[in-house]
Amino acid sequence: MRQVKLVLLSWLLGCFFITAQNKQILYDFTEIPQALMVNPGMSTDFQWYAGIPVLSGISFQAGSSGLTVNDLFADDGVDFNVKVRELAIYGMSTRDELSGTYQVELLNGGFRGRNRDNFYSFGIYNEGDAIGYWFKDYAILAFEGNANQLGRKFDLEHLKTRGEMLNVFHFGLNKRVDGALTIGGRAKIYSSAFNFSSTKNKGYFVTNEGQNNLLANTLDADLELRSSGLNEIEDALDNDTSLLPGILTRRLFFGGDLGFGIDLGFTYKLNKQTVITGSLLDLGFVYSSTDVKNYTIKGNATVEGIEVILPDAFSNSNADFWQDLVDEVDALVPHGTNDKSYIYFRPTKLYGSLRYNWGEPSNPSMDCDCNYIVSKRKDYTKYANGVGGQLYMINRPRGPQAALTAFYLRRFGRALALKTTYTVDKFSWSNIGLGLNLQAGPLNFYVMADNLLAYRNLADSHYSSFQLGLNIISWGKK
């Protein structure tokens, strides 16, 4: 039970930090090395780069599609119970979600190979991801109960959640095939600290008029919560929290569940000024076998209270009818735990974009008193302006989620580039984002923020994200 609470706590924390993983500002922002992480086939002209450890890529994303913090906690004088009932219990649907992601790069670097067409990148990053859909019928049952709701089926499928924390060790190859096409791939080894998921629940709870007695309560359940890595963490939290850093560190560096995945991507120039790109990320899995604890409930039972049919009941008049009823339900709807290993799949992401470039090509040496920024790629032309659209999709427990983005990219010489985006997704239809890339000699700094209109009142935002990073980049000597 405590472990279930731990899962819920992890989920809530995950939800607090949340969200949708879409890095639409970073995507195809070719000045930034971390853009290779969202498209390993990005067109790139770096000679080498080195991320500042821990600071090279930090991103947090948080969102809630159903309601905002302000909806519930605004100091508006409205009864809190009314707000919860109207906005959450009945205001949200089962497709509304709380979800979240963070990433912190521990190490990231890249270098061009002897073959100038090949660029290699590698690194380690830590990632946490959690999603929980609104468990509407569970909430209604908890708030309203089953009284005076004859025939209403409370759908147990509404419980859908998953979450994890892991380290990703990766190595990627970016290869220029010809003047038009660049492809890339990245191999990933996942080392998971913990994960939990409950995504394939089925069944219902219903109260009807009884066949014999006044009421019949029926439970038809097929529920499972799978978890890996939580037991030891729970013990540490209960007994000695000083053990926790050691447990997490060990698990995150190959001492926990391991998995494998790949990223794929490409960039193709339809003509001199038009570019199409695409990438598929985290096509992979983790095999959970350590510290596994799964909770299951499966069966069907209908209860009409204690039933005594005479004269049959005279034969066992000393029986404990209550205990017999409890035992019968236990037998019909067995529940328990097991430690069976399992495989879970990572949330796979898909990006695509179409970009049209125009304007005077950037002068590589403009506004920079250094010798680090000369591209030797004759075909690598950076125009001053770029405009286009992007598609993002991610597989989620309730099926794929999509986001559409329109963007405008403006380069001010080598030193400064701005990208602004307008994104439509389930969280917001007014999501305007802005990314800034600053190149000061070899030092590269980028910062990005999302859903800027919501900054008027962050508590009323359905979605926000923030990314920043610090790198050293070389394009080779002049």
Partner 1 sequence: MKNRFLFPCIILLALYSCIERQNFDQYEDLEIIPTVEASILYIESPERLLNEIPGQDFYSQDFNFDGFSVDAFSDRVLDGFVFYEIENTTSKEMEATVEFLDEGGNTLDTQYFHIDPAPTPLVQLQVAYGIGTGRSIEIIKNTSSIKVSVRNLGDNSSVSNLPDPKIIFRSSGQFRLRLK
Which residues contribute to the site for partner 1 (CB under 8 A)?
A: 69-70, 72-75, 79-81, 84, 141-148, 207, 210, 212-217, 303-311, 313, 317, 320-323, 367, 412, 415-416, 436, 438, 449, 452, 455-460
> Which 3 state secondary structure label does DSSP give 375?
coil
- Residue 312 is classified by DSSP as G
Least distance CB 4 / partner 1 (angstroms): 15
> Which 3 state secondary structure label does DSSP give 128?
strand
Judged by beta carbon, residue 215 or residue 472, the one nearer partner 1 is 215
Least distance CB 332 / partner 1 (angstroms): 16
Least distance CB 148 / partner 1 (angstroms): 7
- Residue 26 is classified by DSSP as T
Judged by beta carbon, residue 72 or residue 258, the one nearer partner 1 is 72
Least distance CB 461 / partner 1 (angstroms): 9
Least distance CB 380 / partner 1 (angstroms): 23
CA geometry: angle 143, 87, 83, nearest 5 deg: 75
The answer for residues whose C-beta is within 8 angstroms of residue 129's C-beta and 6 or more apart is 14, 21, 99, 100, 101, 163, 164, 165, 347
The answer for residues whose C-beta is within 8 angstroms of residue 134's C-beta and 6 or more apart is 66, 88, 92, 93, 94, 95, 96, 97, 98, 158
Write the CA distances from 384 to 61, 198, 414, integer angstroms.
Answer: 29, 48, 10
Strands 215-228 and 443-449: unpaired
> Which 3 state secondary structure label does DSSP give 398?
coil
Judged by beta carbon, residue 31 or residue 291, the one nearer partner 1 is 31
For 445, counting Cβ atoms within 10 Å of its Cβ (0-12 exposed, 13-18 middle, 19+ buried), the class is middle
Of 300, 428, 415, nearest to 369 by C-alpha is: 415
Judged by beta carbon, residue 311 or residue 399, the one nearer partner 1 is 311
Least distance CB 75 / partner 1 (angstroms): 4
Judged by beta carbon, residue 210 or residue 441, the one nearer partner 1 is 210
Judged by beta carbon, residue 80 or residue 242, the one nearer partner 1 is 80
Query: Residue 40, preceding bond cis, omega within 30 degrees?
Result: no
Judged by beta carbon, residue 312 or residue 360, the one nearer partner 1 is 312
Judged by beta carbon, residue 50 or residue 415, the one nearer partner 1 is 415
Q: Which two tokens stand for residue 414?
A: 């080598």
Judged by beta carbon, residue 220 or residue 235, the one nearer partner 1 is 220
Least distance CB 135 / partner 1 (angstroms): 14
Least distance CB 449 / partner 1 (angstroms): 8
Helix axes 2-17, 230-239, angle to 10 degrees: 100
Question: What whole-number distance in Å separates Cα of residue 342 and Cα of residue 95?
Answer: 26
Of 186, 190, 176, nearest to 126 by C-alpha is: 190
Find where tokens 């008193």 sit.
369
Judged by beta carbon, residue 209 or residue 238, the one nearer partner 1 is 209
Contact status, residue 474 vs residue 372, Cβ threshold 8 Å: yes
Least distance CB 434 / partner 1 (angstroms): 8
Question: What whole-number distance in Å separates Cα of residue 344 and Cα of residue 200?
Answer: 12
Least distance CB 163 / partner 1 (angstroms): 23
